[in-house]
Chain A
Amino acid sequence: MSTERIAPPKKRWSWRSQAFRALVYQVLAVAVIGGLVWYLAHNTATNMRQRGIQSGFGFLLGTAGFDIGESLFAFDSSESLLQAYLVGLSNTLRVAVLGIVLTTLLGTLLGVGRFSRNALVRGLCRAYVEAFRNIPLLLQLLMWYLFFTEVLPEAAQAWQIGALFLSKGGLNFPIPVWALGHQLAAGGLVIGLGAAFTWRVRARKLFETDGQTRSMFWAPLALMLAFGVVGWILGGAPTATNPPIRGEFAIENGGALTPEFLALLVGLTTYTAAFVSEVVRGGIQSVSLGQAEAASALGLSQGQSMRLVMLPQALRVIIPPMTNQYLNLTKNSSLAVAIGYPDVVSIANTAINQTGRAVECIALVMLVYLSTSLFTSLLMNWYNARAAIQER
């Protein structure tokens, strides 16, 4: 028996080789796409030259030449376009973050409500979901905008609920006059947060030692608030606020949320909450009934069963589609352009009309949204890998 190794056959580059074919297909695909991209870019360059439009992002440093309806920081028409974009970005984030928090709360309540014992609750939740899911978001935003700008009374006859005023001018609320006490209170809350976490870790250790359950939510929360209150008192217990007061034509003083912001926030929240509730419902349903039965058979109470067995498993199923809904809410905030809220798309639209630089402006907008999506996708992949149920 010969012991020499048989040399592998020489690779023959022929059409019959799979590797060769794959290479050819890929080269063709890249060539076609590359050619198309080159062709389009060439056209664009020619057209832009023809119309005297310059390219490049330098125009962002020029003056904006327009005012922005609302912003978190000061802006006027003499600031740069870049500054305008940042204002737009801050407006988008403002409504997106607040919207995500509110829609999670509302959507979870609705999703859990679908399993309620009470048939009225179940029916109302179902009706809500069907109603808000089957009407376009733009239409809902227009209706909310109509409500906030037409149905509400004039500023002079604003509805008053405690110290809040609701009118066509928006929602006016008292803001505290910023003083030392408030800064210390904020610092106190931060320290309190640390104290709350320490409490939880210690409570867990003690539970494992002697089996007595201790409050893991209310007590740490109280602790955190206590630190905040202590800080506030140390700073002289300032109580001065800047309340809104009914002026002759408008509400003066105080903080304000414009009707555009309110319409966008409420519209986005109520619309996305319908989808979030379906995600939550799917998550709860995904945990098999046998798990709940096993937990009952072991003597766990309803609350313990939910917290220790059902929710951890449901969350693994809920988080990916939930993140998708958060992304949808952020992208849908771009509809602000239809009701006059100055988000980043709205600003880009104005910029295009002013400067004619369509390509750059749209590219900037897409960059903003793409980076948000990418960041969220990465976060979610990391979470998924960490929380996956270990299998063989």
Chain B
Amino acid sequence: MSTFAVIAARPAPSTSSGALAWCRANLFHDWKTTLGTLVIGLALLAVGPRLLNWALVNAVWSGGYETCQAASGACWAVVHEKFRFILFGRYPHAEHWRALVCTVMLLGLILASCTRAFWRPWLGLVWLAVLPAYFALMHGGFAGLRLVETDLWSGLPLTILLASLSMVMAFPIAVFIALGRRSGMPAIRSLCTVYVELIRGVPLISVLFMASFMFPLLMPQGFNIDVLVRVLAGITLFAAAYMAEVIRGGLQAIPKGQLEAAATLGLSYWQMQRKIVLPQALAMVVPGLMNNFISTFKDTSLVAIVSLYELTGAMGMAMNSDANWRPFRIEGYLFIAVIYFVFCYSMSRYSQWIEAQVNKSKQR
């Protein structure tokens, strides 16, 4: 029996750690991996510099369309020239500041609602105050502000308005429908199921067509609905069905034992939902709801088909209206693609962060 001598920890040998080791393990591990690295490396080397040349080196950053036609690179000057038209669409040029102020206000409110620090009772009141202010400022017609009809509202402000407003309105509808689908009463359960399956089975375009062509028929004589309201109603109904499914998943995940405990404590159905079920279920499904929001944000691009020109539609209009700049549409497309990407990617990262937070709280 030898005496026990402590062996201190040593750092790993250099071949199994550090950047060199990482390269060996991840790029050159065996012949298949090495082959893959070589093929991809060659492809990137063939395409990469040419792409960079087009996009950055030979690109034209400002100037007229003649400069662009003469150059061989990307024509970012079209963005420089047209970006106000692309971003604000048909909203009157002199009043762009109003659209900007309103959008910043709305975005600020949304961001505040996403941070934990602001989850106070007065947040609801702030929403109730901001929304009418938004509409008043955008619409104008008082205090010397020029009147701007709703069908002129376009571009990025419209995208953000449609996406956020429809989600906010769809949320309570979705909660009720999700609860209805889980109800014990067959009539209510069937009504909710029919609604959800009907909406989920058809494309958004048909819902927008329905909103656009059929809503005027559904209303009594002389009752004109604004095109913006119609489209908003259509998107809201559409989003509500998908959100209801996500929320239903959260409701299903609440263990039955909790409902039984609540019942033994004498809580009524609505008290149980409000105090016990919904807080947990909604916290669980925030990532899913964020996914819904990202989808709705992308789906707003479809409203161009019913004559409302949000960001994609405004870009199409900006590019198609000016024959001189028409050959450079691809740069315009790339510009708004980047805008969408920035918004959607940040939202998906935020959702991943929330999911990590929720999981952290679950671990012991």
Contacts and interface: CB of A to CB of B under 8 A. Distances in A.
Interface stretch (A66-74, A222-230, A363-371, A382-390): A363-371
B203 A334 contact: yes
Given A47-B221, A117-B33, A136-B299, A338 B305 contact: yes
A26 B187 contact: yes
A345 B336 contact: no
A380 interface: no
A29 B330 contact: no
A332 interface: yes
Contacts of B202: 331, 365-366, 369-370, 373
B218 interface: yes
B84 interface: no
A136 B200 contact: no
A26 B185 contact: yes
A136 B40 contact: no
Label chain B's interface by main secondary structure. Answer: helix
A82 interface: no
Contact of A139 (B205, B218, B337): B337
Nearest to A358: B213
A190 B221 CA distance: 62
A143 interface: yes
Interface in B207-236: 209-210, 213-214, 216-221
Contacts of A369: 201-203, 206
Interface stretch (B10-18, B255-263, B278-286, B339-347): B339-347
B301 interface: yes
Nearest to A364: B206
A48 interface: yes
Nearest to A131: B341
B316 interface: yes
A139 B337 CA distance: 7
Contacts of B218: 40, 43-44
A370 B194 CA distance: 12
B348 interface: yes
Contacts of B32: 117
B330 A47 contact: no
A119 interface: yes
A373 B200 CA distance: 8
Given A46-B221, A362-B206, A369-B202, A33 B191 contact: yes
Nearest to B329: A146
B205 A335 contact: yes
A374 B348 CA distance: 30
B186 A26 contact: yes
Q: Which of A118, A124, A146 has the most CB of B within 10 A?
A: A118
Contacts of B330: 143, 146, 151
Q: Which of B41, B218, B340 has the most CB of A within 10 A?
A: B218
Given A138-B301, A358-B213, A30 B329 contact: no
Interface in A348-386: 348-349, 352, 358-359, 362, 365-366, 369-370, 372-374
A121 B41 CA distance: 10
A26 B305 contact: no
Given A22-B185, A118-B27, A358-B213, A337 B305 contact: yes
B172 interface: no
B221 A50 contact: yes
Q: Which of A44, A138, A150 has the most CB of B within 10 A?
A: A138
Contacts of B298: 135-137
A73 B27 CA distance: 52
B131 interface: no
A25 interface: yes
B324 interface: no
Interface in B64-95: none
Q: 10 tightest A-B contacts by CB?
A: A373-B201, A134-B344, A119-B26, A26-B187, A358-B213, A331-B203, A136-B298, A334-B203, A136-B301, A370-B201
15 contacts: A22-B185, A29-B187, A40-B218, A116-B33, A118-B36, A118-B37, A133-B344, A139-B336, A142-B316, A151-B330, A331-B204, A365-B209, A366-B202, A372-B201, A374-B197
Given A117-B30, A366-B210, 8 more contacts: A134-B344, A136-B312, A332-B203, A337-B305, A349-B209, A358-B213, A362-B214, A370-B202
